């Protein structure tokens, strides 16, 4: 009869939430492709929520991270994706600053492992340069940041 070796627990795959603003569809698609590529390579499971714009991302994250807690299946990390392009009005600053503030509040207040991939750029050319499949894809960078923060959080908790 074989002995059961104890001590080595099998760890469940990481659960990551992706919340993406779809205001600029083609840029959102490219950011999402970068993020999901990184998460797939890491063997993470992920859920995806789409919202209209960057201002809705923090609220959707807050709603979504509370829902699984009730089911005892929390997310290990979150990836926020979107794009805000400079226009002719103050609206750009408002959306950029408030979406970033909302994400920072969530990250600090809930000790959430979060990667921020919301682009804030002057024009569409800059957005495309930061959302393509090469090494500059900020969706991929946000996914890597979220995974790094999950690892840090687990390390600090002794897991």
Confidence check: pLDDT of 22 > 80: yes
Report yes or no on 10 lying in a domain. Answer: no
Per-residue confidence band for 74, with pLDDT thresholds at 50, 70 and 90: confident
In a domain, 5, yes or no: no
Q: pLDDT at position 73, please? A: 72
Per-residue model confidence (pLDDT) at position 10: 63
**Residue 4: inside a domain:** no
pLDDT value of position 70: 66
In terms of phi and psi (left: phi > 0; alpha: psi -120 to 50; beta: otherwise), the region of 138 is alpha
For the chain, the average pLDDT equals: 91
pLDDT of residue 9: 56
Q: Which CATH number does the domain housing residue 23 bear?
A: 3.40.50.960
Select which of 91, 97, 98, 148 is catalytic: 91
Higher pLDDT, 149 or 133: 149
pLDDT tens profile 107-118:
999 999 999 999
Judge whether 119 and 130 are in contact, CB under 8 Å: yes
Segment 1-29 mean pLDDT: 78
Within a domain: 7: no
Q: What residues make up the domain containing 67? A: 15-156
Cα 141 to Cα 154: distance, rounded to the nearest angstrom = 20
Asked if pLDDT for residue 90 goes beyond 50, the answer is yes
Q: Whose CA is closest to 127, among 28, 53, 19, 22?
A: 28
Q: pLDDT digits over 123-144, tens only?
A: 999 999 999 867 799 999 999 9
pTM for the model stands at 0.89
* Count: domains in the chain: 1
- On whether residue 136 sits in a domain, the answer given is yes
**Is residue 146 scored above 90 in pLDDT?**
yes
Residue 94 lies in a domain: yes
Decide if 26 is catalytic. no
Residue 1 lies inside a defined structural domain of this protein: no
| Distance between start and end Cα atoms, the chain | 32
């Amino acid at each position: 009869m074989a002995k059961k070796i104890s001590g080595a627990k099998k760890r469940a795959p990481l659960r990551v939430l992706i919340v993406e603003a779809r205001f600029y569809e083609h840029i959102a698609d490219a950011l999402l492709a970068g993020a999901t590529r990184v998460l797939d390579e890491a063997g993470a499971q992920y859920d995806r929520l789409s919202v209209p714009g960057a201002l809705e991302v923090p609220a959707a994250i807050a709603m979504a991270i509370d829902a699984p807690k009730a089911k005892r299946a929390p997310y290990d990390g979150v990836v926020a994706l979107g794009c805000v392009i400079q226009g002719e009005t103050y609206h750009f600053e408002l959306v950029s600053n408030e979406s970033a503030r909302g994400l920072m509040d969530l990250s600090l207040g809930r000790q959430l492992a979060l990667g921020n991939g919301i682009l804030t750029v002057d024009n569409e050319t800059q957005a495309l340069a930061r959302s393509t499949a090469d090494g500059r894809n900020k969706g991929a960078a946000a996914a890597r940041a979220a995974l790094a923060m999950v690892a840090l959080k687990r390390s600090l908790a002794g897991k």
